[in-house]
Amino acid sequence: MEYNQVNIGLVWRWNIESLFNGIGPAMRVILLGFFAALLPDNTVKAQFSQSAVQALEIYHGNEISKDVESIRSQLNLFEPARGFNHNFGFDNTQTWMLLTFKQEQSQHDKILGLGFAPLDSVELFVWRAGALQRIGIAGDLVANKTGLLNNFPSFIISSQYQQDTILIRVVTQSSHQIALKVDDQYTYMNRSSIRHTLYALLYGVLATMLIFNILVFGVLKDKTYIYYALYLLSQILMFGSINGQIDEFILNGKALIGNELTILSFCALNISSLLFTSFFLRLSKYEKVLSNIFRVIMVLVGLVALTIPFVQYALLVKTTVFIALVSCVLILVAGYKSLFKGHSYARFFVSAWTLYILTMILLILQRFGILGNSFFVVHMTEIGAVAETFLITLALIDKFNIIRSENEAHLASIRKQANELKMKTVQLEGHSYRLSHVLRKPVANIVGLISFIISRENAKDDPVLKRLDSSGKELDEIIKTEARRIEGSAHLG
């Protein structure tokens, strides 16, 4: 199997044992990556990854011709790069880079990578004998990729091409970011193994919590958990699309749906976060105005999702990002209002969404070219997602414990009421017994005596006795009816 046909994900799995056996180089990569996240202009990365590079020249602007062959007459437009990481924001202007290698470093194949997955088209040319020859093409809008199957555009630069000038052209509708790295094969594989391991940990955390919340929903039948599971699924789709893992492992670079899937995952994440918040904070009960606003936003996001096939990607990204920011602010407002009303389970929720908004702001600033491409900033969203998942889990546990305490208190109140009803039932049964036996006995005796007197011949027509007999029977019937009513009430109680 030739090296340029190997799926980097498979190599990661095949070489994981050798990675840990070579812990020295791996640790060097980790430490250098850590310092690169802290230092400006990625000076550590430049010294480490690009040690084989003699010079890098770059030009980004509308003045340069889009004709590949015409680039020969415009080399004077190129200007030296100040580093290997560049971020032009949402700018669909093409970027040209000229790369030359040190002659003493050109004995072995090198691997060139542009560490940003959503680049639409990356073409690799070699300047040889006064002509340009394309030696590679990749990108998430390229059907027949010739580079390595990795989560971002990567190419092998053979030793024969390192004697010449390498030209790279980047065109994209997404955020225009170039994180150029040139490594030897061993360093590249170690770096790729570490990167895939970290992403595996991220997806492992999200998938574990996804399954856990589905199981909890199956037990409790509380929609809050299923909506949070949908939120986690949307996060997995979003990270998988913007970081290129879906294209690398699932689509194998054969389906050009990266941009559409990214927008769709943004929309799904927005809707699921609003649904989860609405049910978690019980907005329909406590904040009806906010609940109605959430519904309007969800409808709006759904309409944006329907326009995906017809609207330019950059405009859709800006629209969904703006709506997401509005949603995040409203979610945070709902959380604080719930907290101020005394709902203590909102404390972890507020902390989680405060952190999430901060990471969202940093991501937006980075995607629009305001911040650079340092490791910490680029991966802030993934770090924030793990932290947010942890805090939301605490919020769900806290809410579950509070609801359980409320249910226990309610159950204790029901038991108390049941005991009181039982005592009242005993009292009613006593009243019923007294009515039907104690009080009715003398009345029955009186009615019997009156009937006996009336039965005598000389008293049959006495109106007083007849009236007494009628009243006595009426009183006896009233006592029996009341006794039956009290007895019935006692049994119902």
In this predicted structure, the answer to whether residue 30 has a pLDDT above a threshold of 70 is: no
Buried b (16+ CB within 10 A) or exposed e, 147-172: bbbbbbbbbbbeeebbebbbbbbbbb
303 Cβ contact list (under 8 Å, min separation 6)? none
Tokens at 303, concatenated: 């309409």
Distance, in Å, from the CA atom of 147 to the CA atom of 161, rounded to the nearest integer, reads 15
Query: CA-to-CA distance for 227 and 274, rounded, in angstroms?
Result: 9
What is the Cα–Cα distance from 173 to 89, expressed in whole angstroms? 10
- Determine the pLDDT at residue 232: 95
Core vs surface per residue 195-230: b (16+ CB within 10 A) or e: bbeebeebbeebeebbebbbebbeeeebebbbbbbb
Report which of 154, 170, 182 is spatially closest to residue 54, judged by C-alpha positions. Answer: 182
**pLDDT tens, 294-331?**
999 999 999 999 999 888 887 888 899 889 889 989 99
Q: What is the dihedral of CA 482, 487, 489, 491, to 10 degrees?
A: -170
**C-alpha span between 110 and 155 (Å, rounded):** 8
Residues contacting residue 300 through CB under 8 Å, at least 6 positions apart: 323
On whether the CB atoms of residues 56 and 179 are closer than 8 A, the answer is no
Question: ∠ CA 160-122-145 to the nearest 5 degrees?
Answer: 80
pLDDT tens for each residue of 41-66:
333 333 345 667 877 878 887 777 76
Q: Identify the pLDDT of residue 183.
A: 87
Share of the chain above pLDDT 90, in %: 19
Q: Quick one: average pLDDT of 92-99?
A: 85
**460: confidence class by pLDDT, cuts 50, 70, 90:** low
Does residue 145 have a pLDDT over 80?
yes
Locate tokens 């003699």: which residue?
54
Residue 228 in contact with residue 213, Cβ under 8 Å? yes
Calculate ∠ Cα 62-135-58, nearest 5°.
35
Do the beta carbons of residue 119 and residue 174 sit within 8 Å? yes
Q: How confident is the model at residue 1 (pLDDT cuts 50, 70, 90)?
A: very low
Q: Which residues, at least 6 apart from 4, have a Cβ–Cβ distance to it below 8 Å?
A: 146, 147, 148, 156
Q: What is the mean pLDDT of the chain?
A: 78
76 pLDDT band (50/70/90 cuts)? Answer: low
DSSP string, 277-294: HHHHTTHHHH-HHHHHHH
Instruction: Identify the CA nearest to 358 among candidates 376, 380, 375, 374.
Output: 380
User: Distance between CA 70 and CA 236 in Å, rounded?
Assistant: 43
Residue 85: other Cβ atoms inside 10 A: 22
Tokens at residue 433, please? 């017994």
Give Dmax over CA atoms of the chain in angstroms.
152
Own/partner pairs, 136-139, CB within 8 angstroms, 24+ separation: 139/172
Q: Following CA atoms 277, 278, 282, 287 in sequence, which dihedral angle do they give, to the nearest 10 degrees?
A: 110
Note every long-range contact of 395-404, with CB atoms under 8 Å and residues 24 or more positions apart, other chains counting.
395/280, 395/345, 395/346, 395/347, 395/348, 395/349, 395/352, 396/213, 396/224, 396/225, 396/228, 396/280, 398/344, 398/345, 398/347, 398/348, 399/224, 399/280, 399/345, 402/344, 402/345
pLDDT score, position 272: 95
